[in-house]
Structure 1
Amino acid sequence: MTKCSLAVDIGASSGRLIAGYLIKGKLELQEVHRFANNVIEKNGHFCWDIDRLFQEIKKGIHVCKEKQLNPTSIGIDTWAVDFVLLDEKDQLLTDAVAYRDSRTEGMMEEVFKTISKERLYLETGIQFQKFNTIYQLYYLKLHHPEILKKARTFLMIPDYLNFLLTGKKENEYTNATSTQLINAFTKKWDKQLIEQLGLNSEMFQEIMTPTSEVGPLRKELVKEFGFNMKVLLPATHDTGAAVVAVPEVNDTIYISSGTWSLIGVENRFPICVTKALDYNFTNEGGLDYRFRFLKNIMGLWMIQEVKRTYDNQYDFSKLVELASESSTFRSKVNVDDDRFLKPENMILEIQKYCQETDQAIPSTPGEVAKCVFDSLADSYQRAIREIEEIYEKEFPTINVIGGGCQNEMLNQLIADTTNKEVLAGPVEATAIGNIVCQLISLGELEGIDQAREIVKQSFEMKKYTALTVS
């Protein structure tokens, strides 16, 4: 039986359990279990099937025995902003409503009636997105105050899954910062802000940082699995975990490429200046109280939706191939327009945008895909220019991490558009970051610097430069 740590990495479209262990100074990964994740319609809202996600986690733990793995620890990361509320008996008061649900329409403006946009940014440092937790909670305050009155516990998605594993309740720091309710400087819940909004500050839990131990498994789960293990905290915000796996952060802009594209730099302090507010950059918490100064922009969601709308006739590699064959097609869209957040038909929405802006309308799958990839590269270039303007310096290197780094066409487009060196990898950055946080907690790694050196030694990177690839 191989001793290992288990990373549970759940994104907006899929989840996986990946085992990791050190052998001769290198990190080895082994996929244990993979499953789909998508929103379901429930009680009039788009929701995550949280019960099924927990069952999939348990299924993956059971699979460990079949694969001769002996996990001594487990850590969970997911997307940000979404949450559940529990009552005094620890029963769910809410569904795990998804951030793409329309319930937060107009809520940002309602919050600004009580707290100004400038104050909110200067205190929290978090970018303004209509689905942030603060606006989801304000929706409940305005439309379902009876739920908030009964609420005794606020848990974000990974917090709740940890609760199901251990019975312990906590709020992990990196994910909590995405709520827009954490003070960027004290790194604690901003109780004054929370109470000014008419929310109950008592339902928020103690903030715990990555590498902390939540606890052992519940007794009934130990009996079910036949073994115990420590439940540890990685950076439970998946981007926070992914950035831990960026091998070199000095003079490097990272793009965590998945359903969303998170583009930014690592910083030792929050940048809550007017220009950062104007450009809508965020200061999310990271491991070691480092900050992820980044912009959350549209990612591969658009091509995922294009694929789905074509009834999955083409896989992603085929769409890339077809896009390459449509090299003369030039139309582009603003990928960060809200119309692309959850349209009924992504292809029609792209075509309508091109028509409205007097551009050639993409008609073939290749032209649609080419439009998406070109538009994403343009969006990245804008964000990079803004980062360099705020920092008053140029960054020579871009490191694309996560599943999207396998898209060679997009990597080359980024290099050509920005005229910078692009490094692609590691692919499983989020799971790697999750695992190394556990290894730091277990004393097998000394800290983030050693962890990044291990990542550098363990995983190959592909390099792209303008018009060439090596």
Structure 2
Amino acid sequence: MGNQAAYVLAADFGAGSGRVVRGALDGRRLTLEEVHRFPNNPVQLRDEMYWDFLRLFHELKQGILKGTEGITTAQVQSIAVDTWGVDYGLIDGEGRLRRNPRHYRDARHAKSMKDVLAMVSEQELYSMSGVLPQQINTIFQLFGHLQDSAADAADDMRLLFMPDLFNYYLSGEQACEYTIASTSGLLHSGESRWNESLITRLGLPASLFPRLVQPGTLLGHLTHDLVRELGTGPMQVVSVGSHDTASALAAIPVTEPDFAFISCGTWSLMGIERDSPILSDLSRKLGFTNEGTVSGKVRTLKNRSGLWLLQECKRQWERENRFYSHEELIQLAISARAHQSVVSPGDDVFMSPGEMPERIRLYCKQSGQPVPETAGAIVRCILESLALEFRQTLDELEHITGTRPPVIHMVGGGVHNRMLCQFTANAAGVPVIAGPVEASSAGNCLLQYVALGEVGDLSEIRDIVSASFEPEMYTPQELDCWQEAYGSYQQITRVKQHQQ
């Protein structure tokens, strides 16, 4: 890279917060520095929920300013954005944002899903797209949107997924990146092309969908207006693995084949990397979806709970003037008795915020278990339940593939919770390799270096990650106790599902 360091900026918009990270590649080592962090909360307006796009674009610009502090602006070579999947915005022929993008939690999507499934069955939709039909999916959001606002189907309108929308206002270029588009339900299964027959069948205008680009595509430079406003150099805008899980998966330091991964934060995505999608009826019934990777493969995965329950409990206790650090909560959980109560973390009763400790107690009471009264008992219940849910997912992956992954790679913020990592190894009966924490940002940065010609391919990316971040290995312990706990978990969750 020459004598002068070259930096890249990775903007990662996650659930609850966003951040801009400055990456530097020195030989074979990547270093990351967080330069700007900001809240990313949806905005409720009457009965509708939105992204706060204008404020978030302002925060992105602040991140660019902070990312160039202390160095010459010419040293920042590029910037790239990743977010979660499915959400999108529309721009008109003049390049104006049609309306603030809707948030996937908007309640209207349930009706749209029902309307689409009346036209295309769930089984057929799954086989066509590889994406598990869920009301959050772009296909249902967009169908309902255009039913309500026919003017948004005009010939000059273009759909851009959220990272693509940020990229458009950074560079002026309209394109949809493959990995984020693969979450929509509007592509051919396992392929980087729009499913035109499905789009036509649903009455969606083909003109709405711009070109698809691959991860590592140079889109262009910052617009002249932004360069003038921010006083920066003309840095490149790169389309990376714009779905945050795609970038995170690229940054897993893999040394063995057939691994399972967990990208764990507020929510968790657990799955495997494959050459082709799994489209069986069993896969669909078990809740697995198929999305694109940065290397042209497929990630077959399942949306699972993450640290949402723990975060919500902590927020509730703070409302009650009971303030615990995360470290204090873990110590309280260590002191609590093991394997007393479990919950199904993904149960609908836990989806909305507020009063989480009480809802956990009520779940345990209704399922005939000891009720966790103390903060430590509740935290232990949550972490044991998450680990058992991961074990269940590993079993399901074995059912749909015929092969049991011999190791789990865990990345993301959940890696900080060493108790959860150890519990996951215990419950699953396989080693857990934890790290890096900032996998999405690491993958984002390294894919920019691929686009800039400084890094070769996915194998080289993973070699650099291995040299840059020291993972921690958790080996399974107390297998008999955890096997017994898993039996209880399966029985209790089955009873609860039957009651509902």
For normalisation by structure 2, the TM-score amounts to 0.89
Do the aligned partners of residues 329 and 388 (structure 1) sit closer, same or farther apart at CA in structure 2, a change above 3 Å counting? closer
Among candidates 305, 308, 315, match of residue 301 of structure 1: 308
Q: Does residue 1:385 correspond to 2:395, yes or no? A: yes
Distance 1:144 1:269 in 2: 37
Is it true that 1:56 corresponds to 2:63 in the alignment?
no
- Which of 468, 472, 483 lines up with 1:458 in the alignment? 468
How much does 1:277 deviate?
Answer: 1.4
- 2:195 corresponds to 1:190: yes
Q: State yes or no: 1:159 paired with 2:164.
A: yes
Alpha carbons of structure 1 residues 362 and 122: separation in structure 2 relative to 1, 3 Å:
same
Structure-to-structure mapping, 1:28-177, within 5 angstroms: 28-68=31-71, 70-148=75-153, 152-177=157-182
Query: Would you say 1:449 and 2:459 are equivalent positions?
Result: yes
**Residue of structure 1 in register with 2:413 after alignment:** 403
> How far is the alpha carbon of 1:270 from its aligned partner?
1.5
* 1:43 Cα offset (Å): 4.9
Greater mean deviation of Cα atoms: 265-274 or 338-347: 338-347
2:263 to 249, 256, 259: 256
- CA shift for structure 1 position 282: 1.2
Q: Secondary structure at the match of 1:295?
A: strand
Residue in structure 2 matched with residue 22 of structure 1 by the alignment:
25
CA distance in 1, matches of 2:147, 2:16: 30
In 2: Cα distance, 1:446 partner to 1:86 partner: 34
Give the distance between the partners of 1:195 and 1:353, measured in 2 at CA: 45
Residue deviations 1:366-393, cap 9 Å, x none?
A: 2222222111111111110011122212
Choose which of 272, 277, 286 in structure 1 pairs with 2:279: 272
Distance 1:318 1:111 in 2: 48
Equivalent AA in structure 2 for residue 110 of structure 1: D
What fraction of aligned residue pairs are identical, expressed as a percent? 37
Once the two structures are TM-superposed, the CA of residue 145 in structure 1 deviates from its matched residue by 3.5
1:50 corresponds to which letter in structure 2? F
Aligned length in residues? 468
Looking at structure 2, the residues matched to 92 and 110 of structure 1 have their Cα atoms a distance apart, in angstroms, of: 27
SS at match of 2:183: helix
CA distance in 2, matches of 1:148, 1:353: 45
Deviations 1:323-369 (A, max 9, x none): 22223462211122223222443333323322322222333222222
CA contact (8 A) 1:85 1:151 kept: no
The structural deviation recorded for 1:169 is 1.1
> Which one-letter code corresponds to 1:201 in the other structure?
A
After TM superposition, the structure 1 = structure 2 runs for residues 360-439 of structure 1, keeping only pairs within 5 Å, are 360-439=370-449
Shift of 1:266: 0.9
Distance, in Å, in 2 between the alignment partners of 1:427 and 1:343 is: 25
Matches within 5 A, 1:224-235: 224-226=229-231, 227-235=233-241
CA distance in 1, matches of 2:204, 2:106: 21
CA distance in structure 2 between the aligned counterparts of 1:404 and 1:231, rounded to whole angstroms: 30
1:321 lines up with 2:327 in the alignment: no
Aligned to 1:240: 246
CA contact (8 A) 1:232 1:441 kept: yes
Moved runs in structure 1, 4+ residues, more than 3 A?
A: 141-151
Q: In the aligned structure 1, how far is the partner of 2:31 from the partner of 2:261?
A: 23
* 8 Å contact from structure 1 (residues 155, 171) kept in 2: yes
Of residues 129-138 and 164-173 in structure 1, the stretch that sits farther from structure 2 once superposed is: 129-138
- CA–CA distance in structure 2, aligned partners of residues 449 and 334 of structure 1: 37
Pick closer, same or farther for the CA change 1:92–1:378 going to 2, 3 Å.
Answer: same
Cα deviation for residue 394 of structure 1 reads 2.1
Question: Does the aligned pair in 2 maintain the 1:84–1:155 contact within 8 Å?
Answer: yes
One-letter amino acid of the structure 2 residue matched with residue 435 of structure 1: C
CA distance in 2 between counterparts of 1:138 and 1:336 reads 27
SS at match of 1:97: coil
- Closer, same or farther in 2 for the Cα pair 1:198/1:183, shift >3 Å? same
Most deviating of 42-51 and 186-195: 42-51
Could you tell me how far apart the structure 2 residues matched to 1:155 and 1:344 are? Answer: 33
Which deviates more from structure 2 when the two are superposed, residues 155-164 or residues 312-321? 312-321
**In terms of mean alpha carbon deviation, does 33-42 or 209-218 score higher?**
33-42
Relative to the length of structure 1, the TM-score reads 0.95
Deviation of 1:67 after TM superposition, in Å, equals: 3.1
SS in 2 for 1:310: helix
Partners of 1:93 and 1:151 within 8 A in 2:
no
Secondary structure of 1:68's partner?
coil
Contact 1:422 1:465 (8 Å CA) reproduced: yes
Q: Distance in 2 between matches of 1:201 and 1:349?
A: 46
1:192 deviation in Å?
1.3
List gaps (5 residues or longer) in structure 1: none
1:333 aligns with 2:343: yes
Q: Deviations over 1:93-129 (max 9, x none)?
A: 3322221222212432321110011111111111232
Residue type of the alignment partner of 1:307: K
Structure 1 contact 298–376 (Cα < 8 Å) conserved: yes
Separation (CA, whole Å) in 2 of partners of 1:410 and 1:324: 11
Alignment-derived partner of residue 498 in structure 2: none
Asked if the contact 1:397/1:421 (under 8 Å) is kept, the reply is yes
Kept in 2: contact 1:81–1:99 (CA 8 A): yes
What is the CA distance between 1:416 and its match in structure 2? 0.8
Note the alpha carbon deviations across 1:230-255, whole angstroms, 9 max, x for none: 00011000000000001116131110
Instruction: Output one character per residue of 1:129-168: Cα deviation in whole Å (capped at 9) or x when no partner.
Output: 2211112122224444444458711111111111111111
Shift of 1:18: 1.2
Give structure 2 stretches of 5+ with no counterpart.
479-500
* Deviating more after overlay: 238-247 vs 29-38: 29-38
